[in-house]
């Protein structure tokens, strides 16, 4: 599920047995090799195909672009704590000045003062703000994040994700995803 989202990898979107993506953040995709393995192990149904074919001495098949699990897996409610998801929660906006350029991560309570790397203490910050704040406490720097950092749920990220679709989405995936495709990535 850590396959690259480059089109050259012919990634397959992985749906749960209820035809919803197995996970949104990160989006559940498999490399084509894993998708085909799962087909042969009878763990998935093929929902959609790419035009692209692969063949060997014994078989020939079109690569699946969407597969669905045969057995329902209870989805996790808590999105993974990842860099992308922190940016998504903060809408790819510096939490000190609203800039969208040159984004980095800032520990609100600096690590040198015992601040943890958690949802509640990490925010998106542009590089100039990050430098300006340095290792000062937020009150001392007069820099409080616009929004108190929090642990988002899947719904929160989903709301924001509509505005920030991932870089690569195959046409055949669109029916299974919610975000608005008319918005430019």
Q: Under the rule (CB under 5 A), what is the footprint of Zn ion?
A: 94, 96-97, 99, 126, 129
Smallest separation, CB 132 to Zn ion (Å): 8
Smallest separation, CB 131 to Zn ion (Å): 10
Q: Which is nearer to Zn ion, 122 or 126 (CB)?
A: 126
Q: Which is nearer to Zn ion, 101 or 171 (CB)?
A: 101
Within 10 angstroms of residue 108's Cβ, the number of other Cβ atoms is 19
Q: Which is nearer to Zn ion, 13 or 133 (CB)?
A: 133
Side-chain-side CA neighbours of residue 6 (13 Å): 3
Q: Which is nearer to Zn ion, 48 or 106 (CB)?
A: 106
Smallest separation, CB 110 to Zn ion (Å): 16
Within 10 angstroms of residue 46's Cβ, the number of other Cβ atoms is 18
122, two tokens:
């990490």
Smallest separation, CB 183 to Zn ion (Å): 24
Smallest separation, CB 127 to Zn ion (Å): 8
Contacts 24+ apart (CB under 8 A), 76-79: 76/23, 77/153, 77/154, 78/151, 78/153, 78/154, 79/24, 79/25, 79/152, 79/153, 79/154, 79/157
Q: List residues bridging with 24 in a β-sheet.
A: 27
Q: Which is nearer to Zn ion, 11 or 145 (CB)?
A: 145
Q: Which residue has the tokens 């979107």?
A: 13
């Amino acid at each position: 599920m850590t396959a690259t989202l480059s089109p050259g990898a012919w990634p397959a979107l992985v749906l749960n047995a209820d035809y919803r993506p197995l996970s949104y953040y990160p989006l559940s995709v498999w490399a084509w090799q894993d998708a085909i393995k799962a087909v042969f192990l009878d763990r998935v149904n093929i929902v959609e195909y790419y035009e692209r074919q692969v063949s060997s001495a014994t078989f020939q098949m079109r690569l699946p672009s969407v597969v669905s699990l045969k057995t329902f897996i209870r989805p996790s409610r808590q999105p993974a704590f990842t860099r992308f998801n922190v940016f998504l929660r903060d809408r790819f906006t510096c939490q000190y000045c609203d800039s969208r350029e040159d984004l980095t991560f800032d520990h609100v309570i600096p690590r040198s003062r015992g601040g943890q790397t958690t949802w509640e203490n990490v925010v998106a910050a542009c590089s100039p703000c990050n430098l300006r704040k340095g290792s000062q406490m937020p009150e001392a720097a007069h820099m409080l994040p616009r929004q108190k950092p929090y642990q988002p749920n899947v719904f929160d990220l989903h709301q924001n994700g509509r505005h920030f679709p991932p870089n690569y989405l195959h046409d055949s995936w669109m029916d299974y995803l919610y975000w608005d495709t008319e918005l430019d990535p």
